[in-house]
Chains A and B, each alone.
Chain A
Amino acid sequence: MRLRTFSAPDMNAAMQMIRETLGSEAIIIASTRAASGKGVTVTAAAEQTDGQDTDRLPTLPDASMTQETVLDKIEAMLRFHSTQDHVVSQLLATAKMLALRGSSIRTDMTRLMAASFQYAPLPLDQDSYTLMLVGPPGTGKTMTVAKMASQAVMEKKKPVVITTDNKRAGGVEQLSAFTTILGLPLHIADNRGELWRLLKEHAPHSRILIDTGGVNPYNATDVRELAEYIKLDRSIEPVLVSAAGSDSAEADDMARTFLPMGVRRVLITRIDAARRYGSVLTAAYSGKFAFCHASNSSRIIGEFSTLNPALLTELLLRYQTPQKDIV
């Protein structure tokens, strides 16, 4: 690879220089506006490639090519994502109401997603909050707590990390390894009394992150126990952690389990490890949850992307643009 940095009065001039020096195959890998405000600095790279296509994701036929109307296109897409039937019909009804024009599927979907779901990022930049991460086993609650804690520590803020996950083998161990690395104490609350005491000790001027054990949505005892933890203090906000790519019928059941516990927001994990997001739509719809963030298992900068209609649309359209790394 050849790498060259060019300074030019404007982008066109820079492009000209790049083509002349590195050839038409060169790509721009970075560009900045000059500090003075006049001109640009562009870094370009070029390489001889043999043009071979390495393993890309399977590309599906573009729905816009095969379907006639906007509604058909949208339905085809929702079906591809195996969204639950009742959610599909509701979204289509909303789409009809919005009288979408079909200028582009991206614009239409963004409008539909904006109209159909709520979006409310978590108050992670504020000085005090009490977030309890809840959900079925294995959705990434502990990792989410670890990521939120490390984000706070990187911003020179010391969060209070608590776990109630004392039943699962290694539940405490996994999180304590992370807090040890971050130089934070890990508080273990074995019962409601201890959680209450910890909350009184640290609230109301702290960022409190509470990890919980996975709840089997079909086990009444599990569900009741978690509900009692949540009810302990009004400052506790339970946030549902849901992994992308799960079965949408299961996601439906799960949402109905967590809704009565006072869950208002859902955080989606592992969005890079899935290409079908029907379960995500179904969970948010059935639980009337607002989307807060999405996390990607392989990224550490900008740990959590804020989920908004545009990002959600990009995810839904991603199967058509396999090379793109969205979040």
Chain B
Amino acid sequence: MASDLWRPEATLSTLRLRAELLAQIRAFFVARGVLEVETPILSAAAIPDPHLASFSTRYAGPGPLDGRALYLHTSPEFAMKRLLAAGSGCIYQIARVFRLGEAGRRHNPEFTLLEWYRVGFDHHQLMAEVAELVNQLLTDRLPLTQEVEWSRYRALFQHYLQINPQQAGIAELAACATAHGVSIPPGMPTDDADPWLDLLLTHCIEPQLGQGRLTFVYDYPASQAALARLRPDDPAVGERFELYLNGIELANGFHELGDATEQRRRFERENTVRQELDLPVMPLDERLLAALESGLPDCAGVALGFDRLVMLAAGADSLSAVLAFPLDRA
């Protein structure tokens, strides 16, 4: 048994499929004049999102960073935004990214993200482009209706669970979970609705999304805007979107927040939450904030899980089936 762990887990035909999809993606962006870029995996700063854990390492060697902690990026977002602010125009990257603690049937702590930014696009225009690319990549590989489904986050909860996610209190969210047969995890917060919404989304809604067609969810609650700009609707929403296919989350995108002050405020709030949760406080990316200060062009960006795309294209049921060497063989 153990002696077989030197072998790749993915079949050679799956590895050829990976290569074909990568080539098709590059052709798609070349045809549109989107520039391929590469940015560092290691950074002296890290994302403070309390739900993301960064691998860290210590640099030893010449230069002022000697002895300093460096973090493996969880996405190339910050560096790519610095390129955008420097006038790169539309860019894409196929990057290996790293997330501590994420392992399972659809997670590997090291995975491949396709991330791209379109200058002058809002999240609706970018969603249309994502749909075009994914439909093009998957059409001949699995049963897929070209017609795309769109749903606001709020409408999604109203449709599947008959609740308003931006108004429901904790008691109502808990009752909704119980009514749908979801056991309430111990230690759920009593003052923060977002983990409850995440519970309902992952358990009751996500498995039903995007059956045989692309489903985009957009306009998230302001508290879940992440790096998206807010639109002052009533209540305000984050101009963020997610793409689902066959119950699997494939991509997350933003109409990008360009306001340096607001970005710093969000980072600091996330670090405060980290402190409350006894998680390490992350060094803020001052170079990203300086880039935003100097001016990020109006743009939308998206990160798409390439391995999950391959998994769908290959008709596989787990991420490890499309990785040459998943974590346990790495």
Specify whether A and B are partners. no
**Residues of B bordering A, CB below 8 Å:** none
